Structure 1
Amino acid sequence: MKRVAATLILAVFSIGAAAADTYRFGSQVISTGDSEGRLRQVAGKPDRETPIESRHGGLEGYRLEYFQRGKSIQFEVVKGRVASITQIDS
């Protein structure tokens, strides 16, 4: 019985860890793993674009920021793919 409960709890946590971040623009959704091209096609031109530097000072990617209805939505794009999505409420 303990094994079944432990397996069930482990499965629930692994499903949560595998779930991708998403953000909705109108009727379309952007998820982590989507290409930068798809993000720009759906969301349009970002309000702010900031380079992300690696530890050694090289270019690792970009942080694309969109301002919508009192929120800031930041998409980190690394190697041409959306790596993370962060929403900051004002």
Structure 2
Amino acid sequence: MKRVAAALILASLAATAMADTYRFGSQVISTGDSEGRLRQVAGKPDRETPIETRRGGLEGYRLEYYRRGKSIQIEVINGKVASITQLDS
């Protein structure tokens, strides 16, 4: 039982260590890439929404790209890609 629990913990840690990625044409964007690289590869976003801190200051942006019936949401915090989420429409 302890081995199963340890294996599950290790698998979840490995999954969280993996970077989110998304392919735009022949190039790939990953978490940790700069906002400049994202905009160079993906182009102008279809929608850009500010992300606020608890106190109302600007923390970053949520950029949305619509590709082939899917919405790709990319959060940029402090000039770096923090997360990539793909939503099927």
Distance 2:14 2:74 in 1: 23
TM-score (norm 1): 0.87
Task: Look up the equivalent residue of 2:24 and give its one-letter code.
Answer: F
C-alpha RMSD of the superposition: 1.5
1:47 match = 46
Distance 1:12 1:88 in 2: 24
Q: Per-residue deviation at 1:86?
A: 1.0
TM-score (norm 2): 0.88
Distance 2:3 2:22 in 1: 35
How many aligned residue pairs are there? 89
Identity %: 72
1:13 match = 12
Q: Per-residue deviation at 1:53?
A: 0.8
Counterpart mapping for 1:29-68 below 5 A: 29-68=28-67
Q: Residues 57, 25 of structure 1: CA spacing in aligned structure 2 closer, same or farther, 3 A cutoff? A: same
Q: Residues 3, 38 of structure 1: CA spacing in aligned structure 2 closer, same or farther, 3 A cutoff? A: same
Q: Per-residue deviation at 1:50?
A: 0.9
Q: Per-residue deviation at 1:9?
A: 4.2
Give a deviation string over 1:17-59, Cα, whole Å, max 9, x none: 1011110111111111110001001000111111111110000
Unaligned runs of 5+ in 2: none
Q: Per-residue deviation at 1:3?
A: 6.7
Unaligned runs of 5+ in 1: none
Find the structure with the greater CA-based Rg.
1
Task: Look up the equivalent residue of 1:72 and give its one-letter code.
Answer: S
1:74 match = 73
